[in-house]
Structure 1
């Protein structure tokens, strides 16, 4: 079996890295500009965190991480905001994140790793930078496989859709392994056993099992909410004025509770807020906790994100931006199955 070593660009808190490790791949280092991710990345994954802009990273620097006589994997899940549906119609040409795929492409050309993977939102395929990225890979001799992935089919308990690309210099074909789950893992499966929390409280044993406070109005709103329902179920005096307007009536997926027997919605950087999506707990009168969000992202139940003080906004960003650990494991298993 191949001995694969990886370097993870845009590693964040380590979702992809943790998944690759679960599949049996050795991850040597992760690069990211978010210094707040250093502790969690290194503590959980025993890999080196390098705080550096990928635009400034050189091939020599990447190559120093790999041992001799290994198959080198270069992974790069660039921030997805410029490609997100939330930005469609907006001018993102000045977004500093926009050229990151080009920098990833440059490093691939200079390092020539045997294996490459990239993960992003499905709408990345609507942009020229993505097609330039694929064309560059093919011009360098890589066999490329890329497709939209329904994460539920791979045991990830949320309705997350992602675009996953695999590329290889050492095999005639490559593809993501077939779906592993015919039945969805549900909210009940994942969080029903966690301790009960009141809004704004923190579990005494697990500091990450903490949830946001609710003001009086939002307390009344969540009391009026039912699993799978919307704010349209509320008395009119509780409905936000913006939702009463014609332009706001279609936004039914906010201020809502999850359903016990369905997967969770896609975890976002704001998933700890009741008003930011269907992030209300199915029967407790609060938004989901940070630990619950991390479990929906398939992080282990003891994954530690910070060394001491837990801050909702910072850790919510880490969790929402992460590649689900299970998806990283699927990518790793797919690479482990290829034959040269």
Structure 2
């Protein structure tokens, strides 16, 4: 199927997603790792939710935020991967203008929610390590609920200008998006006229929202490290640091690809287009797959509960 690169329209009824430009012949093969990633993300995050729900000892702030992270990851992958796989498998490239804006909104919204959850988890670790005797009185269930609500409301509000700005532009060049999903800058680049407002708002979100989140997390961990280094024994320091290890790994996996992908869209014109697209895909699909693995391996409580469930099922099978 061929698509025209030029058309006369102001508000297109549909966009055409190319998938991974330049690698169309290998879409079916590329779909294999993406399918595995999606399956692992679904299985891993549902496992986290099930374990925390069924184990009363895990009903505490850290694991409530972890459940919120799992739900966010499920929504994030489901908002992108099914359409991506439809392109790879069935060459189903069309997406309506409204659905494209909806996808764009949810991708940005859940990404900002995830950043906010990492801030909340950093706050939990800070209180647990720096003020352990007051942890249960500071982070009560109502406080955790308010923090979670604030994270969701903040994201919903600050991301709203993305689709509103995209909707007001005229699209007189083409309706072909050189991507496998409706990435913000990929859509904005199709518009005619001066679209610097959208680009500037994207940078504002990157540095003033995600950037401030990253700074808050860094400050929290600086305070945590000060307390850790004051502990009397090396064993105590190592054990305390391990409680933060999974969180640090998840933060690195989320923030570095996000920053790299966003800056590449604006300043990485020398990179091949398929590299842009692959990196954009990776920053959306890898964290939802890796987060359950990281927390499952690093968290002793989750690991023990998972092993107990596995051995219990095996016992029922052989009994």
Scaled by the length of structure 1, the TM-score of the pair is 0.23
Task: From the two aligned structures, give the one with the greater helix fraction.
Answer: 2
Task: From the two aligned structures, give the one with the greater strand fraction.
Answer: 1
Scaled by the length of structure 2, the TM-score of the pair is 0.24
Q: Which has the higher contact order (CA 8 A, sep 6+)?
A: 2
